[in-house]
Chain A
Amino acid sequence: MNALNINNSEGSRDLDIAWLIQQLRRASTPTDTVSLIQTLSARKTTVENTEEIIAAFIEILSHHHPSVPAAAVEGLVKLAPHSVEPLIAAFRASADHGLQAYIVQALAKIGDGRALDLLLEVVGVEVANHCQGNVRRVAARGLGRIGSTSGDLEMIKRAIEKLTWALLKTEDWALRYAATVSLQEIATVEAIASLQQALTQEQDNTVQTRIKTALEEVTS
């Protein structure tokens, strides 16, 4: 194994990363894989190497053991904003719903405005959507993050519109609940107006209670 030479050679950092990525791809147990992901995400490195790490992490989102994609998502969140574009591209290139779900989760946690269109799309346009309920809920939380951190008024407006629709028109209580939390996070006049409107029509006791709490917090 050439790892022994790498540690002593000049410019070892880059080779070191390449070696770690290779180990990541070859790792045989979930525990090894997770610890390699953590080691790699803690490294300060060049742009080029970062791209390689991101590609390896995205690849490993399809790993069968749930602890591995969970660690890779955390790693990709740490590597933001560099990871945003590759994640979006990987989402578009794949038809694997499991992989796409983890990509949505990473993008929702990052909350970068470039993911707005994708997250809007995942939250959906109708009740029976191709995406599973949990993925839509996660995407709705991502819209809250973008809407509360972006300085772009048009983006904020689009996030609020979709969240308002999700809160008023969808059947899944957890999606409406997530939309409530996101609108509370955004807390603009429009977001508050949507919460007030939903308060009068919400039938579910849990969501109704959460809307009340949200309104108490944004108006206090």
Chain B
Amino acid sequence: MTATSPPELILSKEAAIAALKGDDNQIRYYAAWWLGKHQVEEAWAVLCEALEDDRYRTPQGGYPLRRQAARALGQLKNTQAVPALLEALNCEDLQLREAAIQALAAIGDSRAEKPLLELLGSEGEQPLEALIEALGTLQVWSAQKQIEGFLEHNSERVQCAAARYLYIFTKEPQYIERIIKNLTHPNMYLRWAAAFDLGAIGHIEAAEAIINAKVANSLKLLNLKRILESVLSSDRSDEVEKQKTTRLLLGAIDDLLIQL
């Protein structure tokens, strides 16, 4: 494969794995994406190798291929990749650390808990939003005290991530209200992010806030779906309540279908 070949030429697992080891950085990057997108299980080892790649660097010192490999490993969800992803947390590339944290959260392996807690307590800049989100996903509730401090952080996104973590843990309405506040934020990106935060919470209060929010209809549909799926997979003992919530969410989705 030459540098001028369009990346669409990757048509098989074998071709993608070969391309990942090739010479053209753009194609290697595309191959990493392809392997994640198609969830090619046997690629976990080569993707772990790519986490240590030194050949593809940006002028600012970032490692695009490493980042993409971390994202792909998050899609494969293979626990064998956990040690390599933990190692990537030591890299100075902030975006790589962010991708690795997200991958570790997606894999859901408890070996990630301690290193992530250490990262939260460490000096220097960290991808805090991803970190707090991951601790919530992995249900590491021992970070509660520290995360309460982030409610006053100067980034609204970090505040919302903290509120989401604390809401999932405590179920106290004050925290969900903090996120709902952002659904009417003048900044479209923050409204959009708040809808995603609420979608991840998976509670009916969050659904109502999303239905009434000023965000795009497709975003409402997507996040109501996420809430519904978290309700469906929850092991709530009250079957009647679960059915009632399911009906309510389906009804809300039904009503949005004819909106653009």
Contact = CB atoms under 8 A, between A and B. Distances in A.
A213 B250 contact: yes
Nearest to A206: B225
Given A134-B217, A205-B229, A206-B228, A177 B253 contact: yes
Nearest to A182: B257
A173 B225 contact: yes
B257 A138 contact: yes
Contacts, number: 47
A137 B260 CA distance: 9
Contact of A209 (B221, B246, B259): B246
A181 B257 contact: yes
A210 interface: yes
A138 B218 contact: no
Contacts of B125: none
A38 to B, nearest CB: 19
Contacts of B254: 181
Contacts of A162: none
B92 to A, nearest CB: 39
Given A205-B229, A206-B228, A209-B232, A141 B257 contact: yes
B218 A105 contact: no
Nearest to A98: B260
The B interface, classified by DSSP as helix, strand, loop or mixed, is: helix
On chain A, which size bracket covers the interface?
20 to 34
A106 to B, nearest CB: 10
Interface string A125-158: 0000000011101101110000000000000000
Contacts of A173: 225
Given A134-B218, A181-B254, A209-B232, A101 B260 contact: yes
Contacts of A21: none
Contacts of B253: 177, 206, 210
A102 B260 contact: yes
A174 interface: yes
Nearest to A108: B258
A163 interface: no
Given A205-B229, A205-B232, A210-B250, A174 B221 contact: yes
Contacts of B247: 213
A135 B257 CA distance: 10
A213 B244 CA distance: 12
Interface in B215-242: 217-218, 221, 225, 228-229, 232-233
B258 A105 contact: yes
A91 to B, nearest CB: 14
A160 interface: no
Contacts of B259: 105, 138
Contacts of B257: 137-138, 140-141, 174, 177-178, 181
Nearest to A213: B250
A174 B17 CA distance: 33
B260 A134 contact: yes
A133 B217 CA distance: 12
A174 B259 CA distance: 12
Q: Which of B228, B229, B232, B257 has the most CB of A within 10 A?
A: B257
Contacts of B221: 174
A209 B258 contact: no
Interface in B10-37: none
Given A133-B218, A181-B257, A209-B250, 14 more contacts: A105-B258, A134-B260, A135-B260, A173-B225, A177-B253, A177-B257, A181-B254, A205-B232, A205-B233, A206-B225, A206-B228, A206-B253, A209-B246, A210-B250
16 contacts: A101-B260, A102-B260, A105-B259, A105-B260, A109-B258, A134-B217, A134-B260, A137-B257, A138-B259, A173-B225, A177-B253, A206-B225, A206-B253, A209-B228, A209-B232, A210-B253
